[in-house]
Chains A and B, each alone.
Chain A
Amino acid sequence: MASTSSLRSPSTWVFAATLGLLIVSLWWNLVGAPTEATMGTIQRIFYYHVPSAAAAWTALLLNAGASLWYLVRRSPVADALALAGAEVGLAFLTIVLITGPIWARPVWGVWWVWDARLTLTLAMWVMYASYLILRQLTPPGSLQPRLAAALAVFFAADIPIDYMSIRWWRTQHPSPVLFGGPDSGLAPRMLTALLISMAAFLAVMGCLVWLRYRQEMARGRLAALRQRQLLLEES
């Protein structure tokens, strides 16, 4: 088992590379990308908003996959990954829900619209917040991972249906047409900035999930050792 306290270990390189990527991305987001014609400087939030969403979705997809794996194999690795994915995913969802309205208000004139994407994002935020609350409120042991995994599978089955149904609803009741959406006319340099930012955010997400996963596994090992100790003392 490689010690992660050494500066030469692989994880340090990965963290350093992620940090580098973030700095490069920062330059591109603020300087490298041209200012958007209609929206102005505020549009640059786009380079944080969209990658946050991508990072959130990836982390939550990990949660869904790991939960399914747990239900099949009961592996503690699966449970730790599921927990890490949910926490990191929720954090990035929070960023999405904060940056979105900040961008929307000056550009569209409204803080919020009930279109498919936003409604779904809000619903997902509540879902995964309640997932974490459930984990908090259930006594640790064999029950907590089982309940959490079952809940995560329910969410995973539900989210595509959510999106479809809200989308259909919106085609029946169209919301006001909002121009200047995220995919309208992306200049090449903007695309570059977006892709770099995407890579940076996914890297950060990966690092966070990795750290949380290792923390959770360590906590499990510590608990097992503690149990052994408790059995040995006080005969």
Chain B
Amino acid sequence: MGEWRIAAAVCARDLRIELRTREALLAMGFYALLVMVIFSFAFSSDASLTLRAGGGLLWVAFLFASLVALDRAFLREAGESSLVGLQIAPASRAAILAGKFAASYAIILGLEAILMPLFAVLFNTPRHADWGGIIFTALLGTWALAANGTYFSAMCAHTRQRALLLPLLLLPVSIPAILAMVQATQVYLTGEGMANYWLQLLIGYDVIFTVLAWALADMVLDIE
């Protein structure tokens, strides 16, 4: 269908730009790494810390990096390349937004793939940690952040001081998802407790907000 082609083209273009530029990707990576290093300074790297707060640590690092990636989603369209090109094309807004979401999702997942092993090493995660579960949680959780993040990033593209507004809009709305991500990761890291409720919450959250963003896509990529 035409819409999927458009979404795929937008995604491919955005990924190509990021891979050619690389500076944004590097900035994100260093940002997340820095957060982890600072945490390790603040607390000694004893095993009990990882057990008590590992989920939170990991996701704070990912959150910082995600905010950079999501801001980039529309920062890319600045200057010569400008949003106008996307706006005057007779293409479905939802398809364009879907493409941008897919690109951000891929970029953030890529970053997580690199940072998770680093985290395991730096914080001495227990041997019995369920990495399959952690990865599954990351897939669902990142979806939530990227879906809402892309939508709000488009919303902020029309404003000045966009970088300030994006975290303000994104974080409170993402509370259920962040809570679920952190708690589920914690369960998988320590082996204590049940992650089922949190995963169900994440899936439900993903569905609701993806549908909402799809339905309201026209609002957010419209002309002045």
Per-residue contact bits, chain A 159-198, to B (CB 8 Å; 1 contact, 0 not) = 0011011101100100000000000000000000000000
Asked whether any CB of chain B lies closer than 8 Å to the CB of A147, the reply is yes
Asked whether any CB of chain A lies closer than 8 Å to the CB of B161, the reply is yes
Q: Which of A106-165 contact B (CB under 8 A)?
A: 119, 123-124, 126-127, 129-130, 133-134, 137-139, 141-143, 146-147, 149-151, 153-155, 157-158, 161-162, 164-165
Q: Which residues of A are found within 8 Å of B183, using beta-carbon distances?
A: 169, 172
Asked whether any CB of chain A lies closer than 8 Å to the CB of B173, the reply is yes
Q: Which of B160-210 contact A (CB under 8 A)?
A: 160-161, 165, 168-169, 171-173, 175-176, 179-180, 183, 193, 197, 201, 204-205, 208-209
Q: Which residues of B are found within 8 Å of A104, using beta-carbon distances?
A: none
A123–B15 CA distance with the chains assembled, in angstroms: 33
- A155:B165 contact, CB within 8 angstroms: no
Q: Which of B136-174 contact A (CB under 8 A)?
A: 148, 151, 155-156, 158-161, 165, 168-169, 171-173
A158–B212 CA distance with the chains assembled, in angstroms: 11
Q: Which residues of A are found within 8 Å of B179, using beta-carbon distances?
A: 165-166, 169
Q: By DSSP majority rule, is chain B's interface helix, strand, loop, or mixed? A: helix
- A158:B155 contact, CB within 8 angstroms: no
Closest chain A CB from B56 CB (angstroms):
12
Closest chain B CB from A150 CB (angstroms):
4
Q: By DSSP majority rule, is chain A's interface helix, strand, loop, or mixed? A: helix
Asked whether any CB of chain A lies closer than 8 Å to the CB of B219, the reply is yes
Given A137-B160, A139-B224, A146 and B169 contact (CB-CB distance below 8 Å): no
What is the count of residue pairs linking A and B with beta-carbon distances less than 8 angstroms?
Answer: 90
Asked whether any CB of chain B lies closer than 8 Å to the CB of A45, the reply is no
A154–B161 CA distance with the chains assembled, in angstroms: 21
- B173:A155 contact, CB within 8 angstroms: yes
Closest chain B CB from A4 CB (angstroms):
34
Residues of A within 8 A of B (CB): 71, 119, 123-124, 126-127, 129-130, 133-134, 137-139, 141-143, 146-147, 149-151, 153-155, 157-158, 161-162, 164-166, 168-169, 172
Besides A155-B173, A162-B172, 5 new A-B residue pairs in contact (Cβ under 8 A), listed by A number? A134-B156, A138-B158, A147-B155, A150-B155, A154-B148
Q: 7 tightest A-B contacts by CB?
A: A165-B176, A137-B159, A130-B168, A150-B219, A123-B172, A127-B172, A150-B216
